[in-house]
Structure 1
Amino acid sequence: MVDPKRAAVLALHWQVNVIKPEGFFGSLLSEPVARSGVVERAARFHGSVRAAGVPVIFTRFTVPVGEGELVRNTEFMRAVGDAQEAFRPDAGGTQLIAEISAGADRVVDNQKLSGLAGNGLPQWLAGRGIDVVFVTGVATNL
């Protein structure tokens, strides 16, 4: 058993732009996500670990005015940069989906493909002695 004080869940990009049909990547991802049942499974997992005292930290892919730390080095990132209004921190598409966001212990924004890059999250985890990270998400391989 993992010591809950040393663990956290990194919940990557559970946001409208990634999960829902109306989101920026909805035409690509929403149907396979819905068919797989991953949202329901992740919600149960998050609830179980939270009950055991493990924090769940959500990341949101956002693009602030001025692009923040966005680097347009791939076709994917160029597409996001070209549509950055849809990724503003207060845009509907960047909001966490209601089915899974209840009780989020922390929400961190980032402009890189990795939820751990450019946002201070690794330091936050290390500062709390967290050295075991469980990952949930639907586009974690990007």
Structure 2
Amino acid sequence: MSKNDVALEERRKWLQSLSQKDRDFIGKWGLENYQKFKEQEKRERTSQKREQKQVEETERLKQTEIPQKFLKALEETLSENETLKITLEEIINEKGEMQLLIEQLYERIEGLEAQLGERDALIENAEKIVAWFEKKGIKIEDLD
């Protein structure tokens, strides 16, 4: 088997190991977006674990009878962290929406470039036809 065959076989096995939901996601949004999505999920799990540790630490501190002022300040900090996390998630979501719009814009530009190429080819053919008529002594007036 060639290296390409081996790589294709490994990729096929990997895809088969995924859930139907994951395969559907890859089919709709592409492998790169799937990988980004999985990385985001991993970051969220890590963040949730960190938050859980913070909650456990707060509970432990409460049980060791830390002065009330310090506990209140800690709760406020956790609340601010949650607000910052929500804001960050909103920014990430907006970035994803902007990326989708940019991709759509690029697709539209490519379509317009193709139309422009077709138009240029028509103009070139028209110029050749006019030159042929003029070569034959037939004047074609400019119709602009």
Given the two structures, how large is their TM-score scaled by the length of structure 2? 0.23
Structure number having the greater strand percentage: 1
Given the two structures, how large is their TM-score scaled by the length of structure 1? 0.23
Structure number having the greater helix percentage: 2
Higher RCO (CA 8 Å, separation ≥ 6 residues): 1
Quick check: which has more Rg, 1 or 2? Answer: 2
